[in-house]
Amino acid sequence: MSTATMSRPAGGRRLVADRPRPRPRGAILPTVVLVLGALYCLVPVVWVLVASTKSSSELFSTFTFLPGSGLVENLGDLFAYGDGQYAQWALNSLVFAGVGAVACTLVSTMAGYALAKYDFPGRQVVFYAILGGVLLPGITLAIPQYLLMSKIGLAGTYWSVLLPCLISPFGIFLARVYAVSAVPTETMEAARIDGANDTRVFVSVALPMMVPGMVTIFLLQFVGIWNNFLLPFIMLSDERMYPLTVGLYTLLSKGSGTPSLYTLAIIGSAVAIIPLVAMMLVLQRYWRLDLISGGLKG
């Protein structure tokens, strides 16, 4: 028979050790909801990864989550399709997402920092306009952007996909919020007293403090551009310039007449997930460092 651990303090009285408190029943429901949400998001991904290992005959004959035997053959067929067309699509996606995310992060950081730390006429009007842009779905801008790019002769070029990605209202809003909390005004004033101009204050003082926020903006933009379908689908007409999203869509379109292309589309989707997972694993340390530094400051 187990008994509670007893302790004897200096006064001679025996005290019962603290017992672990039972978890309240209300805490179970959020856990169940989170588990169901995780399953809802992960099960399709798991199915794509498993289906990418199956040959065409295995894919259409059975529906199981057991791995197949055609992974190596599927990878070879994928990168051999159209004389390496998938590799070209992957390179295009990397250019669109990498260049677009870096440029958008810099623009958002500078704009958010200016809105947070400078007082100028019309600042609130600009900020509310940015909030309106956050609420506006990006899909509604695709056709106007195409018409604008056609007017200036950039439709069908890489610039027609890159330029609309430079401005992100949500990125600017996030940078402003982070600059308000992470960049102390007193530190900026101290740098100015030491003789630093505004550019030096931004580059040497504010920018290092905003790195975790910049990483968040970069990751969100990279994932958004990498997964973007409608904008390049409207802007581009040359298959060699397609990103992975539009390229895989063409495979699915042709798959109605050639079922073997469904297998290529599935393995191509599985391979397209790898850069996003790698990006998350590499960049998550910046958030961890930010939490640690915040705890030390507290």
**Whole-number Cα distances in Å, 56 to 60, 70, 73, 103, 259:** 6, 8, 11, 41, 8
Whichever domain contains 253, its CATH number is 1.10.3720.10
* Least confident span in 139-143, 186-190, 240-244, 251-255: 251-255
Q: Which of 142, 172, 150, 165 is nearest to 95 (CA)?
A: 165
pLDDT tens-digit series, residues 201-223: 999 999 988 988 899 899 999 99
Long-range CB contacts for residues 101-105, cutoff 8 Å, separation at least 24: 101/165, 101/218, 101/219, 101/221, 101/222, 101/225, 102/218, 103/162, 103/165, 103/166, 104/165, 104/166, 104/167, 104/168, 104/171, 104/217, 104/218, 104/221, 105/171, 105/214, 105/217, 105/218, 105/221
> Which tens digit of pLDDT belongs to each residue from 287-297?
655 544 443 34
Contact status, residue 92 vs residue 242, Cβ threshold 8 Å:
yes
The better pLDDT of the pair 21, 57 is held by 57
User: Is 5 within the bounds of a domain?
Assistant: no
- Residue 270: name the closest of 52, 43, 39 by CA: 52
Res 241 pLDDT > 80: yes
268, 86 Cβ separation under 8 angstroms: yes
**Chain segment 42-58, per-residue pLDDT in tens:** 888 888 888 888 887 77
Is 121 part of any domain? yes
Q: With beta carbons less than 8 A apart as the criterion, state whether 155 and 149 touch.
A: yes
Domain of 85 in residue numbering reads as: 73-297
- Phi first, then psi: give them for residue 248, nearest 5 degrees: -65, -30
263 belongs to a structural domain: yes
In the chain, the number of structural domains is 1
The pTM assigned to this predicted structure is 0.81
Cβ atoms 225, 238 nearer than 8 A: no
**What would the pLDDT profile of 55-94 be if each residue is shown by its tens digit?**
877 777 777 777 777 888 888 888 888 888 999 999 999 9
Domain membership of residue 20 (yes or no) is: no
pLDDT of residue 160: 92
Residue 231 resides in a domain: yes
Average pLDDT over residues 243-254: 88
Q: What is the pLDDT of residue 297?
A: 44
- For residue 220, being part of any structural domain is answered with yes
In a domain, 35, yes or no: no
109 found inside a domain: yes
Q: What are phi and psi of 16, to 5 degrees?
A: -80, 130
